[in-house]
Amino acid sequence: MKTPNISTTALKDWLASFSLKAIFFPIFGIVAFLLLWQVGASKVHTSLGEFPGPVVVYQQWNSLLDDHRREKVKETKFYERQEVRIEKRQAKDPSYVGKIRSYTGKPTFFEQIFTSLYTVLAGFGLATLIAIPVGILIGLNSSVYSALNPIIQIFKPVSPLAWLPLVTMVVSATYVTNDPMFSKSFLTSMFTVTLCCMWPTLVNTAVGVAAIDKDLLNVSKVLQLGWLTHVVKIVIPSAIPLMFTGLRLSLGIAWMVLIAAEMLAQNPGLGKFVWDEFQNGSSNSLGRIMVAVLMIGFIGFLLDRAMLTVQRFVSWDKSQILR
């Protein structure tokens, strides 16, 4: 009887030491926050009613889910009706070629999340494609650095709201086709994100490249490595940690900028959702906006985790602690 007793107490001790920090404290923090929120929210009265507390927000979340399901059912029925109609026509006239018209219903909250996600990833991807090569170039060559540094320093702190009107006008003027692949609002939001989020990646890549261990540079010189081998084998691996610091900062900024850009550019994403609810001004609006706020935060967190996972995968130093 003695031995299992010892092992159970050990297990308990282990569980206690583990769960206190990993489980209890975070739960305590969240519960305390929810309580404070509920109490605080009931004290704030706006023209659209009481500020939404957690309970109202949860109800609105459910109602948004319902909206989404209802809309999906409508959409499927819409397509079914078309198919039935086409089949009927073809039964009478076999030469008839039917055309399926796409559903034009209002995008639901969850479709808007998806729109936001691919817009931010497109903008961030484009920014990365520009920032990493330019960052490497600047880091390698101090003359290029001196030439570009003032420009970078001036454009880095510019707010997305300042860029947006310019980007809108340029996109309208240059993207003229009869058969547009992308909507203009998407392009405007994407380019605004790109313009605002490429700087941390660019600067960090440049710093990482410039900070390569001098001994490794000497190795490269003694081996007389070609330019490409030098960049691929020595420059990029040693710049990777800082590069990822930049990428994570960039992705965070991209996500923040996107919401503002979507509000103004009317790209059908989360930013537009918030703006529309605000303009709508129903008694549900504040609760729905709060759902969007929490969703934005949660997705931002997931994006950062995803980036961290990529970094773990790419990083050569597996012993490095990444957080």
Partner 1 sequence: MSTHLDISKVSIEFPTPKGPFKALDEVSLKIAKGEFVSLIGHSGCGKSTVLNIVAGLYDATEGGVLLDGKEVRGPGPERAVVFQNHSLLPWLTAYENVELAVKRVFKGKKSKKEMHEWILHNLALVHMSHAADKRPNEISGGMKQRVGIARALAMEPSVLLMDEPFGALDALTRAHLQDSLMEIQKDLNNTVIMITHDVDEAVLLSDRIIMMTNGPAATVGEILSVDLERPRDRLALANDPKYVNYRAQVLTFLYEKQRKVEPITQASKVVTSTASRAASA
Nearer to partner 1, 134 or 231 (CB): 231
- Tell me the window of 41-49, 72-80, 231-239, 255-263 that interacts with partner 1 (CB under 8 A): 231-239
* Among the listed residues 100, 176, 222, 321, the single contact to partner 1 using CB under 8 A: 222
Using CA atoms, how far residue 294 sits from 16, 47, 168, 299, in Å, is 31, 22, 28, 9
Interaction pattern, residues 238-267, with partner 1; x per rule: CB under 8 A: x-----------------------------
Residue 25's H or E segment, with its range, is helix 25-42
Return d(Cα 75, Cα 77) in angstroms, integer.
Answer: 5
What are the backbone dihedrals phi and psi of residue 173, each rounded to the nearest 5 degrees, phi first? -75, -35
Measure the CA angle with vertex 143, ends 140 and 147; round to 5°. Answer: 115
Shortest distance (Å) from residue 201 CB to partner 1: 20
Nearer to partner 1, 313 or 316 (CB): 316
* Residue the block writes with tokens 């931010």: 120
Return d(Cα 152, Cα 246) in angstroms, integer.
Answer: 15
- Tell me the window of 11-19, 24-32, 228-236, 260-268 that interacts with partner 1 (CB under 8 A): 228-236
Is 230 one of the binding residues for partner 1 (CB under 8 A)?
Answer: no
Residue 323 and residue 311 in contact, taking contact as beta carbons nearer than 8 Å: no
Residue count at the site for partner 1 (CB under 8 A)? 18
Interaction pattern, residues 171-210, with partner 1; x per rule: CB under 8 A: ----------------------------------------
Shortest distance (Å) from residue 230 CB to partner 1: 11
For the segment 293-322, give every residue that binds partner 1 (CB under 8 A).
316-317, 319
Is 55 one of the binding residues for partner 1 (CB under 8 A)?
Answer: no
Using CA atoms, how far residue 278 sits from 39, 56, 130, 259, 281, in Å, is 23, 17, 36, 14, 5
* Among the listed residues 61, 82, 233, 256, the single contact to partner 1 using CB under 8 A: 233
8-state DSSP, 285:
H
* Residue the block writes with tokens 């320093």: 153
Is 218 one of the binding residues for partner 1 (CB under 8 A)?
Answer: yes
CA-based nearest residue to 161, from 249, 250, 264: 264
Is 234 one of the binding residues for partner 1 (CB under 8 A)?
Answer: yes
Is 212 one of the binding residues for partner 1 (CB under 8 A)?
Answer: no
Is 215 one of the binding residues for partner 1 (CB under 8 A)?
Answer: yes
* Residue the block writes with tokens 């023209």: 47
Nearer to partner 1, 13 or 317 (CB): 317
Return d(Cα 157, Cα 261) in angstroms, integer.
Answer: 16
Is 213 one of the binding residues for partner 1 (CB under 8 A)?
Answer: yes
Return d(Cα 260, Cα 265) in angstroms, integer.
Answer: 9
Residue 212 and residue 240 in contact, taking contact as beta carbons nearer than 8 Å: no
* Among the listed residues 77, 221, 305, 312, the single contact to partner 1 using CB under 8 A: 221
* Among the listed residues 5, 47, 174, 224, the single contact to partner 1 using CB under 8 A: 224
Interface with partner 1 (CB under 8 A): 213, 215-216, 218-219, 221-225, 229, 233-234, 237-238, 316-317, 319
